[in-house]
């Protein structure tokens, strides 16, 4: 899912779960009367639910009394909504001496407006498939696979989950760990929250 967030580092921000194309931007100021060369900005620490595309940016030269921006692209992994964490960035000179540190507090949020079963991928599966779903509130979740005759063949998940976005892997096998034949199968998501039951389904083609 693409839901980019751009912000200059300061304070606290919310970031949407399961997104790519997010950016942290740090403006590095050179208050000296001569150019500053060999400056690097590095990610010193970050939450386990964030993946940076690169963890160090080199700023070749910053003119006197000027600034340049170090930009970091990152992905927010799926999981529970409301997770909090701190990103710590350090500014290094060409001798790898720490000039300054900056921290920012992040909190995950849902971009979904309703509980949703996403299309499985890849589809067709051969035989593995990833099944993704999102919950807008804590729910009892049952995720199952049925064949086109309506026969239950596999239970992938049956339990309580907090609000968030998640995935489950299906290996094309039934509950007895026996590989199933090629054909069309039904992914069935049942959620129960605050006494209300909701059913959603999608088709998945298994091809071997």
pLDDT digit string, tens, across residues 17-72: 999 989 888 888 888 888 888 899 999 999 999 999 999 999 988 888 888 889 99
Position 47 scores a pLDDT of 96
Residue 135 near residue 161 (C-beta atoms within 8 A):
yes
Task: Give how far Cα 171 sits from Cα of 50, 127, 178, Å.
Answer: 27, 6, 10
pTM of model > 0.85:
no
pLDDT averaged over every residue in the chain: 91
Q: Which residues of 22-50 are buried (b: 16+ CB within 10 A; e: fewer)?
A: bebebebebeeeeebeebbbbbeebbebb
Beta bridge partners of 12: 105
Q: Which residues contact 191 (CB under 8 A, 6 or more apart)?
A: 115, 135, 139, 140, 141, 142, 197, 198, 200
Higher confidence at residue 132 or residue 103?
132
Domains and CATH numbers, the chain: 6-109 (2.60.40.10), 116-206 (2.60.40.4070)
């Amino acid at each position: 899912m693409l839901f980019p967030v751009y912000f200059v580092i300061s304070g606290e921000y919310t970031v949407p779960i399961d997104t790519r194309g997010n950016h942290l931007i740090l403006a590095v100021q050179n208050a000296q009367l001569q150019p500053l060369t060999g400056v690097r900005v590095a990610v010193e620490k970050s939450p386990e639910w964030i993946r940076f595309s690169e963890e160090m940016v080199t700023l070749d030269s910053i003119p006197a009394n000027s600034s340049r921006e170090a930009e970091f692209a990152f992905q927010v992994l799926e999981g529970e909504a409301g997770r909090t964490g701190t990103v710590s960035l350090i500014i290094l000179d060409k001798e790898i001496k720490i000039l300054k540190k900056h921290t920012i507090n992040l909190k995950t949020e849902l971009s979904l407006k309703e509980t949703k079963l996403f299309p499985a991928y890849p589809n067709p599966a051969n035989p593995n498939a990833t099944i993704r779903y999102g919950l807008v509130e804590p729910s009892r979740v049952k995720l199952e696979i049925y064949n086109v005759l309506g026969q239950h063949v596999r239970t992938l998940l049956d339990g309580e989950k907090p609000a968030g976005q998640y995935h489950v892997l299906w290996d094309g096998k039934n509950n007895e760990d026996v590989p199933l034949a090629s054909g069309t199968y039904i992914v069935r998501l049942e959620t129960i929250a605050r006494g209300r039951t909701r059913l959603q389904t999608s088709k998945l083609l298994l091809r071997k």
